[in-house]
């Protein structure tokens, strides 16, 4: 073998060995790699914002001040868990949040609803469940009542698809009685965007409306739509006469209609671009509110319906999300970036 | 013919990528020159051993001459392989550190595999071993390198922003280079021993590399679709192998028919192969 070739091969081998050693020294367990805003947040009636943010993989709840800056975490959880959802109580004095394992396949299917008292800074577990609680919200009219979406299983529907929560139903939990009650009996494939508007007697959520389809071909025509059930539970019925496309996240407008998240178009890279639309009639034909050209979602409306908060994932379709919180007028305007600071 | 001179000529011819017949012709031609020089040196009064050594030393450095002949016969091939090797090594280290420093994940086995395939390509380009089935080894390495590059492109999805896109684009360019080398190696650089069939051999090999890429892609896609929409517990997945098997069998049939000189029948099989794959693709795009 030629000497220069031998030297080149030795150098490549040395560089590979050094790189592998650097990799071993610098790599972190998957649980400790998440950093920054998780995309989970809630807003009080007076506009106070609480967000869930990761620090070296630990999820924590932070309150944002008027400049949208955060101080230390009010509550934290371990690196093997995530805070899926949080909700301010109607008086804004406490926050209910749900904690579950980051990897339910390894950590077991379980969730804990915890209550954080903002005045005393103390927190306590109020309810533990052997399912995956993906979203929760306080009833805006009853500080004793929490609604939540619960998945009964966490599995993959095919060998190459990732595991996801399935068999969803809506439940309610009464704090004073420490009692839960299912409000639906659907075992739905997917459910999201739980919303209970103030003064309403309905609980809203989105899911695939495929129960009326009989054949597999018809199931492909099913779209994700907004449904509502009476607050005491029952059979879901579509909210509005149907939207012209799949509706994922949404926020019900107090006077009717909804601000909803749907696919706007496909990017040059072949990735769906999600935007927020406003439909005052609930009949579809929504007017496009955002033009982020990435992934706008998680809309939250102020009780008077005038202010809209939402989250943009600037890295949507890639391995790691990059969430940013915005505020804008609910009838359209320029979004103002709030968190994290830019 | 003197054995030492014949061995010297053979060593030089082995450093080229020609067929066995081409190498033999080259070897005989060089041995003739060496023998003539040897005879002249004997007439000048040298001993047989002196004349042999002088004839070889006046001919030049065997390795260098072999490399020059190789370059004249197959222009830019060495540079292309060197480019693929250097590019793949740089791509490997860039992807490894980008993923490590953004996602804090170290894909060490992948980096080692990337370095090994890159180094093997470098060694084959700079100092190829004389005794090697080059067509098989080179094509095997190009295909292995394509797989390594594809998995590297998947890893770039962990790299945020433009850096990930730039790395992925570099990976695709390297795959393009590897595919160009597969075409060269299969259809152009290595030819049949029978001159009469040479252009048919090139045409059929070129067509089969193309249909091979399409057939294997179709098989992989069907396999992915099956796994994505089933529980994977039965053996239906084996149907996914049909396009790749169909291609392999029809390629083998063309190769055998061509070897027997049945050119028209071989082209008939090529046409059938292309028609079936085109029909499958048309059906797929119509459905989707």
The DSSP-derived string for A130-177 is SSEEEEEEEETTEEEEEEEEEEEEEE-SSTTSPPEEEEEEEEEEETTT
Mutate to test the interface with B, among A56, A159, A270 (most CBs of B within 10 A): A159
Is the pLDDT score of A319 beyond 90? no
Cβ neighbours of B228 in A, within 8 Å: 158, 160-161
> Taking CB atoms and an 8 Å limit, are A322 and B115 in contact across chains?
no
Q: What pLDDT score was predicted for residue B191?
A: 55
- pLDDT > 80? residue A334: yes
Within this chain, do residues A44 and A167 fall inside the same structural domain, yes or no? yes
User: What residue has token string 């391995």?
Assistant: A319
Determine the Cα–Cα distance for residues A134 and A139; give it in Å rounded to an integer: 17
Which among B228, B233, B236 is the top mutation candidate for probing chain A, defined by the most A β-carbons within 10 Å of its own β-carbon?
B228
Are A45 and A184 in the same domain? yes
For residue B182, pLDDT beyond 90:
no
Q: Which domain holds residue A138?
A: 32-198
| pLDDT at residue A51 greater than cutoff 90 | yes
* Distance of residue A93 Cα from the nearest chain B Cα, in angstroms: 37
List Cα–Cα distances, A247 to A258, B34, B114, B222, in angstroms: 10, 83, 44, 30
What would the mean pLDDT of B92-109 be, rounded to a whole number? Answer: 94
A341 touches chain B (CB under 8 A): no
Whole-number Cα distances in Å, A264 to A118, A268, A276, B93, B242:
39, 13, 9, 38, 39
The Cβ of residue B182 has, within 10 Å, a number of other Cβ atoms equal to: 19
**Which own/partner pairs from B89-93 qualify as long-range (CB within 8 Å, at least 24 positions apart)?**
B89/A12, B89/B114, B89/B115, B89/B118, B89/B119, B89/B122, B91/B149, B91/B152, B91/B167, B91/B170, B91/B171, B91/B174, B92/B118, B92/B148, B92/B152, B93/A15, B93/A19
Same domain, yes or no, for A296 and A244? yes
Q: Tell me the C-alpha distance between A28 and A51, whole Å.
A: 25
pLDDT band at A159 (very low <50, low <70, confident <90, very high): low
| Alpha carbon of residue A80 to chain centroid | 18
Task: Report, as an integer, the average pLDDT of A47-51.
Answer: 93
Q: What mean pLDDT do residues A70-89 have?
A: 92
The residue of A13, A19, A324 whose CB has the most chain B CBs within 10 angstroms, and thus the best one to mutate to test that interface, is A19
Contact A160 B224 (CB under 8 A): yes
> Which residues of chain A make contact with B158, given a CB cutoff of 8 A?
318-320
Q: State the CATH number of the domain containing residue A113.
A: 2.120.10.30
Q: Pick A27's closest partner by Cβ from B104, B122, B164.
A: B104
Q: What distance in Å separates the CA atoms of residue B121 and residue B137, rounded to the nearest whole number? A: 10
How close B212 comes to chain A (CA, Å)? 25
DSSP string, A6-45: HHHHHHHHHHHHHHHHHHHHH---GGG---EEEEEEEE-T
Contact A320 B158 (CB under 8 A): yes
pLDDT, mean of residues B247-261: 90
Domain ranges of chain B: 3-71, 76-190, 194-288
Higher-confidence residue of A142 and A220: namely: A142
A269 and A331 part of one domain:
yes
* DSSP structural state of residue A272: E
User: What is the interface size between A and B, counted as CB pairs within 8 Å?
Assistant: 87
- Mark which of A198, A213, A232 sits at the end of a domain: A198
Interface probe, candidates A158, A294, A324, chain B, greatest B C-beta count within 10 A: A158
Query: Looking at chain B, which residue has its C-alpha nearest residue A17?
Result: B112
Mean pLDDT calculated for residue range A99-109? 87
Q: Are residues A72 and A135 in the same domain?
A: yes
User: For the ranges A135-144, A279-288, A294-303, B155-164, which has the lowest average pLDDT?
Assistant: A279-288
Tracing tokens 């009650």 back to the chain, one arrives at A181
Q: With an 8 Å Cβ cutoff, is A19 touching chain B?
A: yes
Q: pLDDT at position B203, please?
A: 85
> Which of A1-10, A138-147, B176-185 is modeled with the greatest confidence?
A138-147
Query: What Rg, from alpha-carbon coordinates, does chain A have?
Result: 22
Same-domain check for residues A45 and A153: yes
Secondary structure class of A188 (helix, strand, coil): strand
DSSP helix/strand/coil, A195: strand
Residue that is written with structure tokens 């950590």 in the block? A107
Among chain B residues, CA nearest to A9: B119
Look at strands A164-174 and A179-182 and give their pairing: antiparallel
Q: Are residues A185 and A286 in the same domain?
A: no
Give phi and psi for A62, each to the nearest 5: -125, 140
Greater pLDDT, B280 or B117? B117
Query: Is the pLDDT confidence value at A7 over 60?
Result: yes
Whole-angstrom distance, CA of residue A113 vs CA of residue A138: 12
Report angle CA A28, A33, A34 to the nearest 5 degrees: 170
Check B100 against A22: CB less than 8 A apart: yes
Whole-angstrom Cα distance, residue B6 to residue A309?
Answer: 84
Contact: B122, A13; criterion CB under 8 Å: no
Please indicate, yes or no, whether residues A176 and A301 belong to a single structural domain of this protein: no
Percent of chain B with pLDDT over 70: 90
Residues A268, A177 share a domain: no
For residue B107, the tally of other CB atoms under 10 A from its CB is 22
The verdict on a CB contact (< 8 Å) between B101 and A315 is: no
Q: B278 — phi, psi (to 5°)? A: -60, -40
Which chain B residues have a beta carbon less than 8 Å from that of A159? 227, 230-232
Beta bridge partners of A70: A64
What average pLDDT does this structure show over A189-204?
92
Answer yes or no: do A9 and B126 touch at CB < 8 A: no
Quick one: A39 and A186 in the same domain? yes
Residue A208's φ and ψ, nearest 5 degrees, are -75, 130
Q: Please, what is the angle between helix B263-287 and helix B198-228, to 10°?
A: 30
Q: What is the mean predicted confidence (pLDDT) over B234-252?
A: 87
Strands A58-64 and A75-76: antiparallel
A319 contacts in chain B (CB < 8 Å): 103, 157-158
Q: Closest to B96 (Cβ–Cβ): which among A5, A8, A23?
A: A23
Average pLDDT for chain A: 89
Residues A192, A297 within the same domain = no
CB contact under 8 A, B103 and A320: yes
In a domain, A296, yes or no: yes
pLDDT at site B69: 87
Whether residue A86 sits in one domain with residue A137: yes
């Amino acid at each position: 073998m030629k000497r220069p070739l031998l030297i080149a091969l030795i150098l490549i081998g040395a560089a590979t060995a050094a790189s592998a050693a650097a990799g071993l020294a610098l790599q972190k367990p998957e649980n400790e790699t998440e950093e920054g805003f998780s995309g989970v947040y809630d807003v009080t009636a007076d506009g106070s914002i609480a967000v869930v943010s990761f620090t070296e993989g630990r999820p924590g709840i932070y309150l944002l001040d008027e400049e949208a800056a955060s101080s230390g975490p009010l509550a934290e959880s371990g690196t093997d868990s995530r805070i899926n959802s949080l909700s301010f109580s109607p008086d804004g004095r406490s926050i209910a949040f749900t904690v579950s394992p980051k990897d339910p396949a390894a950590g077991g299917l379980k969730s804990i609803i915890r209550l954080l008292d903002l005045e005393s800074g103390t927190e306590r577990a109020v309810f533990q469940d052997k399912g995956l609680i993906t979203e929760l919200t306080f009833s805006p009219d009853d500080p004793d009542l929490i609604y939540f979406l619960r998945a009964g299983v966490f599995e993959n529907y095919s060998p190459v698809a990732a595991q996801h929560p399935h068999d969803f139903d809506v439940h309610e939990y009464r704090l004073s009685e420490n009692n839960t009650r299912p409000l639906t009996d659907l075992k739905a494939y997917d459910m999201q965007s739980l919303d209970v508007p103030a003064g309403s007697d309905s609980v809203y959520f989105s899911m695939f409306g495929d129960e009326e389809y009989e054949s597999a071909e018809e199931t492909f025509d099913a779209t994700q739509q907004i449904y509502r059930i009476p607050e005491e539970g029952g059979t879901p019925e579509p909210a509005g006469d149907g939207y012209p496309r799949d509706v994922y996240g949404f926020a019900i407008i107090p006077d009717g209609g909804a601000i909803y998240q749907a696919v706007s178009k496909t990017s040059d890279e072949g990735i769906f671009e999600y935007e927020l639309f406003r439909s005052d009639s609930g009949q579809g034909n929504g007017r496009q509110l955002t033009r982020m050209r990435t992934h706008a979602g998680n809309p939250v409306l102020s009780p008077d319906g005038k202010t809209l908060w939402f989250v943009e994932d600037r890295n949507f379709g890639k391995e790691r999300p990059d969430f940013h919180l915005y505020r804008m007028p609910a009838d359209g305007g320029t979004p103002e970036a709030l968190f994290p600071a830019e | 013919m003197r054995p030492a001179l014949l061995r010297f000529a053979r060593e030089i011819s082995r450093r080229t990528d020609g067929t066995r017949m081409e190498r033999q012709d080259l070897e005989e031609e060089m041995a003739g020159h060496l023998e003539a020089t040897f005879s002249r040196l004997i007439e000048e009064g040298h001993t047989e051993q002196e004349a042999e050594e002088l004839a070889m030393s006046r001919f030049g450095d065997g390795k260098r001459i072999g490399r020059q002949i190789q370059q004249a016969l197959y222009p830019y091939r060495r540079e292309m392989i060197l480019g693929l090797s250097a590019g793949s090594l740089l791509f490997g280290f860039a992807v490894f550190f980008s993923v490590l420093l953004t996602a804090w994940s170290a894909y060490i086995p992948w980096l080692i595999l990337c370095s090994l395939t890159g180094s093997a390509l470098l060694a084959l380009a700079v100092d190829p071993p004389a005794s090697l089935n080059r067509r098989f080894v080179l094509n095997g390495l190009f295909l292995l390198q394509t797989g390594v590059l594809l998995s590297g492109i998947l890893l770039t999805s962990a790299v945020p922003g433009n850096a990930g896109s730039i790395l992925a684009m570099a990976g695709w360019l390297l795959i393009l280079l590897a595919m160009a080398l597969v075409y060269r190696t299969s259809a152009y650089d290595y030819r049949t021993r029978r001159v009469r069939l040479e252009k048919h051999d090139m045409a059929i090999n070129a067509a089969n590399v193309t249909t091979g890429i399409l057939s294997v892609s179709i098989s992989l896609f069907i396999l992915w679709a099956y796994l994505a929409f089933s529980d994977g517990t039965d053996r239906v997945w084996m149907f996914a192998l049909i396009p790749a098997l169909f291609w392999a069998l029809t390629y083998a049939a063309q190769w055998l028919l061509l070897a027997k000189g049945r050119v028209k029948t071989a082209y008939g099989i090529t046409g059938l192969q292309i028609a079936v794959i085109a029909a499958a693709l048309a059906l797929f795009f119509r459905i989707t």
